[in-house]
Amino acid sequence: MRYIIIGAGAVGGVIGGRLAQSGREVVLVARGAHLAALRADGLRLRVPEGELTQRLPAVAGPEELGVLRADDVLVLAVKTQDTEAALAAWGPAPVEDGTTAAESLPLLCAQNGVEGQRRALRRFRHVYGVCVWLPASHVEPGVVSAAGTPLTGVLHLGRYPHGTDDTLRRIAADLDRAHFEAPVVADVARWQYAKLLSNLANAIEAVSGPLESEAARALYDRVRAEGEAVLDAAGVAYASDGEQKEARGDKVTLVPLAGTPRGGGSSWQSLARGTGSIEADHLNGEIVLLGRLHGVPTPLNELLQRLADAFAREHRAAGSLPVAELVRLADEAGHRAA
């Protein structure tokens, strides 16, 4: 199988780099300065064992590859807000057996939240969900890092909306040989919703910095409680904390990487790089949507969604709103909703 990584940033770049290191055939899809750096100098992957350089084919879109192969696997690793454009570009791509990518190729959605795969299923016949437990950073153009050891990450895989198949098991075997653990599960959405609850902290980190203070952690507890109440009201199942700890254990322990200062998570990185967009609409916004559908107030998640969107739109500095001010705004939002 050949893996086409659509969005070779932090998560996509690390998955692609590790697969290539293990001997798999990989194509990277990127844009702008990152694409130029990949073409000029290769993918530089910083991991605990050092910096690895993989010189891989790098393209901007399907046209540069021509007709796709019947054994291609598409890995969608763009941010959720960029999903629609990627699906529109790759879905109609011709495959050597006379079909299109949307008709016949497997599409793995290696993304936060649940919206990406939902949108993918409108266009693609064979959609697979990935619950991504992979601490990774897009350091600079051409350079990504992953500080986890002994495993780089844990990637739960399943058909979307449910089920498993032999294609998925072959993909999992490749990932298992590439410094990942890739459990194949019939209920991948249950793991993704559990991860979504932890991702509700992304907006807090993006606007106010790491959750290091007691006040920040207490705010996250309130935000998560809102999320749990919404999922329960909607009848959405999610893996328990105990299940997650048992599945991951100490398999992915972060270590310092030379030349790679530890930054924040994916939303923090979006603000730090000044991309102009952020995932909050599909993380906190997913809770807001379900809350409105099922009559559960979500004032804290609404606040975080609105603030994160404003920070991205206005190119405000990541972490620049003091935690005390964020807590004050959250208290006011809660009182108004009461």
Give the 3-state DSSP-derived string for the chain, with helices as H, strands as E and coil as C.
CEEEEECCCHHHHHHHHHHHHCCCEEEEECCHHHHHHHHHHCEEEEECCEEEEECCCEECCHHHCCCECCCEEEEECCCHHHHHHHHHHHCCCEECCCCEHHHHCEEEECCCCCHHHHHHHHHCCEEEEEEEECCEEEEECCEEEECEEECCEEEEEEECCCCCCHHHHHHHHHHHCCCEECCECCCHHHHHHHHHHHHCCHHHHHHHCCCCCHHHHHHHHHHHHHHHHHHHHHCCCCCCHHHHHHHHCCCEEECCECCECCCCCHHHHHHHCCCCCCHHHHCHHHHHHHHHHHCCCCHHHHHHHHHHHHHHHCCCCCCCCCHHHHHHHHHHHHHHHC
Q: What does each of the 338 residues of the chain score in pLDDT, given as a tens digit?
A: 999 999 999 999 999 999 999 999 999 999 999 999 999 999 999 999 999 999 999 999 999 999 999 999 999 999 999 999 999 999 999 999 999 999 999 999 999 999 999 999 999 999 999 999 999 999 899 999 999 999 999 999 999 999 999 999 999 999 999 999 999 999 999 999 999 999 999 999 999 999 999 999 999 999 999 999 999 999 999 999 999 999 988 999 999 997 776 678 889 888 988 889 999 999 999 999 999 999 999 999 999 999 999 999 999 999 999 999 999 999 999 999 87
pTM equals 0.95
